[in-house]
Amino acid sequence: MELNERVVSAIKEQFPSLDIRCEHDFRDIVTLAGECETWRQLIDVGHAAAHVEGVRNVVSHMTVKGLVIPKKDYSETIRKGKEIGVIAKTDVLIVGLGITGCGIARELAKYNLKIMAIDMRDDVGAGASKANNGGVHMAGLVKPGTLKAKLSVRGNFLYDKWAQELNFTFIRPGHLNYITSIDHLPSIVKIFETAVRNHDRDVSMLDGPQTLKIAPGIKEIMGDDPVASVLTPTQGKVHPYEVCVALAENAVDNGVEILLSCELGDVITENGQIKGVITEKGIIETKYLINAAGLYADEVSVMAGDECFTLHNRKGTIAIYDKSKPPATVQLAMRERPELKKDVESKGGGTDQTPSGNILMGPSATEVPDKEDIDTTEQDLAYTLNRNDNPTITPADVIRIYAGARPADLKEDYVIGMSELTHGLINAAAIQSPGIGSAPGVAEMVEGILLEDLEKNGTPAKRRDDWNPIREKKVKFAELSREEQAALIEKNPAYGHVICRCETITEGEILDAIHSPIVPTSIDAIKRRTRAGMGRCQGGFCQPRVLEILARELGKEWVEINLKGRDSTVLKQKNR
C-alpha cells in the first residue's frame, strides 16, 4: 500500500467520523488536510499519522470546526524591511536566540565566518527557553533511537564543559524515582531500561532500604515507604535564561553580531539557495540561514521554501515556591505516579528544585492553538499544584506561576538538518523538552552540518586562533562569604548597595549586567540576569530601584523602561 493510503487508513481507524486527506513527498513527509472537531483532536490526528511506519514527519493543513487558528501577519515587517533595504551581509544568519540559537551562535563563533543572529524579542532566551524548568535531563525518559534521545544524552555529557567555560550555575543533584507499591515496578523498570538503552552507565536500581538511605526525607517528610527506586545521578539543573545569556555573551565576545527586537518577515531564496532575509530592521544577505526560531520555525522553513513540519504549542504551567521551603533531602526524589501518565506525548513535569533552591512544580502539558498563548489557566494550575506530594508545602508557599510554550512538531522529535529543497537552510527546530539539556548536542550537530557543507562547497571553515571559550564569572554577591563580600565592597562600593532584598542582589551586579555584551533593557531582562525581583516579594520593593538604575544607565526616561518586550512600560506618564 502507498504511504498515503496507510496514513489515511490509520487515521480512519482511530477517527472514523473524520474526512482527512493525505499527500506525501519524496522524503515521506506527509501533508494532512481536512476538518477536525477540536484542536486536541487535530493534534491527535497528526500524531496518528506520524506513528505510521515510514512517515518522516507530518505537515498539517487541517482546520478545526468553528475555530480560527491564529496566524501571524508578517506584512508590516516585510514592508518595513524592504523600505530600509540591505543593512548587512553575512555568511551565517541564526534566526532565534533561545537556548538552541544561543548555543549554535557560541559554537560557530570558533570559525572564521561572519555570523549574525536575530531575535524578535528584546532579549535572548526570552521565549520558550525562559519558561523551561531548567532540567538537564537524564537518559531514562527519552525514547531510544530518536534524535531527541541521542542529543539529550550527548548534551548532558557536554554540560560540564559548557558550565566550566561559560561560568553559569550547573548542579547535578541526580534524580530518584521511587515507588511505594510493587505494582508500580514496571514504571521504574522502564526508566531504568530506557536509561541503559540510551547508554547511561550511572543509572541504578535500589531497593527500599537503599532508597531511604539516600533520601531519608521520603519517609520523614513525605511519609512514604519506598519499595524500590531508580537512581539517575546524571540529572542536572540550570537556570535556562542564565545559560542563554552566558552563551550569547560569549558569542558576542567572539565576534557574533546580535540584533534584538528584530522580527523576521520573509526569506529570500533564488534557485533553491538561501540569499537573505527581510527583517523589520532591514534586509540581511546571507549564505546560510540557521532556523532556530522556536515555535515559529515551521513558518520560517515555509518562507524558505521547505514546508516539512508543523509546530504546535504544548503549553506548560509552572509554580515556583518560596525558597524557605522545604528541606532539600526530598528534592531529588519523586514518587512515580503512573496514574498521571495517560498521555505519553504530553509529558509533564513533577516536583523539582531550581539551582537557587526554590521548589518548582510542573510543568503541565496542554495543547493550545495559539502560539502566543502562555496564559495560566485554572485547569493547568490545578494539574501543576497537584504534582506536589510533600505535605510540608502548600499553595500558600507559591510565589510565582507562569506558563511557557513547547515548540513540538507532530513527530515529537527534533528536526535538525540541511534542507533537501533549499540549500543553505539548516533547521534546528521542534526542540522541545529536553531542549535545555540537549542544547550542546544540538549545537554540535548543527556545527557539523555547516562544516560539512562548507567543505563540500570548497570553502572549508577555518578555526580562529583568537577564539576565547571563556565567559568570565559574574559576581553573585549572595553566594559569597561575609569576608569576600566585605572585600568586594571595599573594591567597588556599588556591591554594598543591596537593591533586591529577597535575593540579596546588589547595585554592582545590576550594573555588571547592564554593562555587558548584550545590554538588558527591560526589568525582566535584569531579573533573568541577576535574580533581582525573583524572590518572594516579586519586585515589590526593588522594581522602582531597578527601573531607576536602568533609566540612568541607558540614558532613558523612566516612562520608557519596559517590564518585558515592546511597549510594556511600567509607567505611563509623569504626573507632576
Partner 1 sequence: MKEIKTDITVIGGGPAGLAAAVEAKKQGAGKVLIIERDFELGGVLQQCIHDGFGLHRFGRRMSGSEYAQIFIDEVNELGIDVVTDTMVLEVTPEKELYACNSTDGMMHISSGAIILAMGCRERTAGQILLLGGRPSGVMTAGSVQRYINMEGYLPGKKAVILGSGDIGLIMARRMTLEGIEVEGVYEVMPNPGGLTRNIVQCLEDFDIPLHLSTTVAHVHGNSVLEGVTVAKIDENRKVLHETERFIPCDLLVLAVGLIPENELSKGAGIALDPKTKGPVVDQNFMTSVPGIFAAGNVSAVFDLVDYVSMSGEIAARGAVRYVNGTLPSGEGKDVKIAGNVNFVIPQKVIDDPEGGNMFFMRVKHPDGRSKISAAGGEIAGKSVHQRVAPPEMLACEVRGIQDAELEISVGAVG
Report the catalytic residues. 137
Instruction: Find the shortest distance in angstroms from Cβ 526 to partner 1.
Output: 14
In the bound state with partner 1, the residue whose beta carbon lies nearer, of 207 and 372, is 372
Q: Kindly tell me the burial class for residue 65, based on how many C-beta atoms sit within 10 Å of its own C-beta (0-12, 13-18, 19 or more).
A: exposed
In the bound state with partner 1, the residue whose beta carbon lies nearer, of 467 and 541, is 541
How far is Cα 229 from Cα 240, in angstroms, rounded to an integer?
28
Contact present, 44 and 367 (Cβ < 8 Å):
no
Under 8 Å CB-to-CB from 270, ≥6 apart: which residues?
Answer: none
In the bound state with partner 1, the residue whose beta carbon lies nearer, of 119 and 413, is 119
Q: What three-state secondary structure class fits 300?
A: helix
Between the alpha carbon of residue 306 and those of residues 25, 92, 181, 272, 300, the distances in Å are 11, 18, 50, 10, 9
Instruction: Find the shortest distance in angstroms from Cβ 486 to partner 1.
Output: 4
Contact present, 50 and 411 (Cβ < 8 Å):
yes
How far is Cα 104 from Cα 523, in angstroms, rounded to an integer?
27
Place of cell 553566594: 479
How far is Cα 439 from Cα 168, in angstroms, rounded to an integer?
14
Instruction: Find the shortest distance in angstroms from Cβ 513 to partner 1.
Output: 18
In the bound state with partner 1, the residue whose beta carbon lies nearer, of 273 and 386, is 386
Contact present, 411 and 427 (Cβ < 8 Å):
no
In the bound state with partner 1, the residue whose beta carbon lies nearer, of 98 and 140, is 98
**Cell numbers describing residue 367:** 495543547
In the bound state with partner 1, the residue whose beta carbon lies nearer, of 470 and 487, is 487
Instruction: Find the shortest distance in angstroms from Cβ 146 to partner 1.
Output: 32
Q: Single out the residue of 456, 454, 455, 452 nearest to residue 444, CA to CA.
A: 452
Instruction: Find the shortest distance in angstroms from Cβ 361 to partner 1.
Output: 12
- Longest CA–CA separation in the chain, Å: 78
Instruction: Find the shortest distance in angstroms from Cβ 154 to partner 1.
Output: 34
In the bound state with partner 1, the residue whose beta carbon lies nearer, of 300 and 498, is 498
Strands 359-361 and 351-353 come out as antiparallel
Instruction: Find the shortest distance in angstroms from Cβ 375 to partner 1.
Output: 5
Q: Kindly tell me the burial class for residue 546, based on how many C-beta atoms sit within 10 Å of its own C-beta (0-12, 13-18, 19 or more).
A: buried
Helix (H) or strand (E) holding 411: none
Half-sphere exposure of 520 toward its Cβ, with a 13 Å CA cutoff? 33
Q: Which residues bind partner 1 (CB under 8 A)?
A: 320, 324, 372, 374-378, 381, 395-396, 398-402, 482-483, 485-486, 489-490, 493-494, 496-498, 501-502, 504, 507, 536-538, 540-541, 543-544, 558-559, 562-576
